Amino acid sequence: MKKFLLFCCAIVTMYSFSGCASNQSKGEYTWLKQAIDVSAAQLKETVADVGDSVLLPRAIWTGYDMDFLCNQLQRDPATFKDSLRVKPIKDALGTRRYCSSIYDWTSGFFPGNLWYAYQLTGDEDLKKDAVKFTNYLYPVKDYKGTHDIGFMMNCSYGNANRLLPADSARLALVQTADNLCGRFNDSIGCIRSWDFGKWNFPVIIDNMMNLDLLFYVSHLTNDPKYKEIALKHAETTLKNHFRPDHSSYHVVSYNNDGTVELKCTHQGKNDESAWARGQAWGVYGYTSCYRESKDSVFLQQAKDIAELIMIRVKTDDAIPLWDFDAPETPQTPRDASAASITASALIELSTLVEDGQVYFDYAEKLLKSLSSDAYLAKVGTNQGFILMHSTGSLPNGSEIDTPINYADYYYLEALARYMQVKGLDYKSL
């Protein structure tokens, strides 16, 4: 009888510990479930608000103060030229900003957000919404006027084809990839970024993100030309975009013979500063290049940029200032978009190297910071966007300390990658 009682006690104890472990496991990911639930709710409210209008949410309209800009850029107000692009009318401030058209460089992110929210939750309504907003972008497959067609179509149709394969999506992606390849210059060894501005042949660090479209289409078609062009672009960018400390210029413009015309940082504090989102684009892009090529040169570049970010970002929550060289004041805006991109990149990087835990841990810290009340919006606020406190182009007076759709996109992508690495699914949270 005594042995039987001891056995019963042991069974009770075992189940008690099992229950505690299960509760602890669920409690450990409370932040994650809340992040997903808030994201899905915000997106659904936005869809309901937009209705049947062909509108793609981009940000919230913000203005700027010249003294503030001069302080951030550390320039003399007396000589600073107000050459900023868009001054929103006073009545627009604080309202939702939509993409100017389907050809806006950010047009693919909102459909992409819906696809990731569907992937994370399995909610069929989100899938229907994702299809609807993705279809708006179908004419973009014929557009050739910018490298951003990679962003526009891969974030929308790329996710659509990944989660709901269709011949029409595949054909749109292939045609877009062909148009992107048409911007490649053999003599220079790069894909041209912009068709505007003072530059002869501008290539921006952001262009590293559009290589994923080429990698994806190379797999879809079994045609190596897309991958070859992507990797050549990455090689040329590696040669010319980076400083000895592995920080990146924003823009490198080339002469027609392939020599460098000039280097600058158009959206950063100054030409030699480390613009936060530019560094995030870099670590993401070279991680993708290593994934596709297994070339150790690309891996080393990704690791070097990751180390730069982890050393240079001094904020307690690891969310960077809009530029690593910006003045460290309470008024200096953060850039949640740079944090989201970095988190997504470092989670993938952690799976490609033996010593990946350091990258995963840093990405987890970023995600937990972004999922805190300081950055994650409350449902029904923030004009339906998920994250607060991103900075688009401060020197140009554009989207300063505001929600931006691509911050939400890479945040959701990072959450999805985090769950994949952890072996989690939504129902288990």
Give a three-class secondary structure readout of 195-253: CCCCCCCEEEHHHHHHHHHHHHHHHHHCCCHHHHHHHHHHHHHHHHCECCCCCECCEEE
Q: Which of 65, 178, 195, 206 is catalytic?
A: 206
Using pLDDT thresholds of 50, 70 and 90, give the confidence band for residue 386: very high
Is residue 37 part of the annotated active site? The answer reads no
Please give the pLDDT value at position 105: 97
Q: Residue 373 carries which side chain, given as an amino acid letter?
A: D
Beta-carbon-side half-sphere exposure of residue 235 (alpha carbons within 13 Å): 12
Please give the pLDDT value at position 157: 98
Please give the pLDDT value at position 49: 97
Inter-helix orientation angle 296-312/225-240, to 10°? 50
Is residue 206 part of the annotated active site? The answer reads yes
Please give the pLDDT value at position 86: 61
Please give the pLDDT value at position 21: 37
Can you tell me the mean pLDDT for 13-23? 37
Per DSSP, which regions of 257-401 are E strands?
Answer: 260-264
Could you report the per-residue pLDDT of 298-330, keeping only the tens digit for each?
Answer: 999 999 999 999 999 999 999 999 999 999 999
pTM of structure = 0.93
Q: By C-alpha distance, which of 179, 180, 178, 140 is closest to 156?
A: 140
Q: By C-alpha distance, which of 264, 270, 236, 242 is closest to 252?
A: 264
CATH of 28-428, picked from 3.10.450.50, 3.20.20.140, 1.50.10.10, 2.60.40.10, is 1.50.10.10
Give the whole-angstrom CA distance, residue 237 versus residue 205: 8
> DSSP code of 166?
-
Residues facing residue 376 across a β-bridge: 387
Can you tell me the mean pLDDT for 32-55? 97
Q: Which of 37, 123, 125, 148 is catalytic?
A: 148
Percent of the chain whose pLDDT exceeds 70: 92
Give the whole-angstrom CA distance, residue 131 versus residue 312: 40
Residues facing residue 97 across a β-bridge: 59
Domain ranges of the chain: 28-428
Q: Dihedrals φ, ψ of 116, to 5°?
A: -70, -35
The two structure tokens encoding residue 145: 């006027």
Could you report the per-residue pLDDT of 154-186, keeping only the tens digit for each?
Answer: 999 999 999 999 999 999 999 999 999 999 999
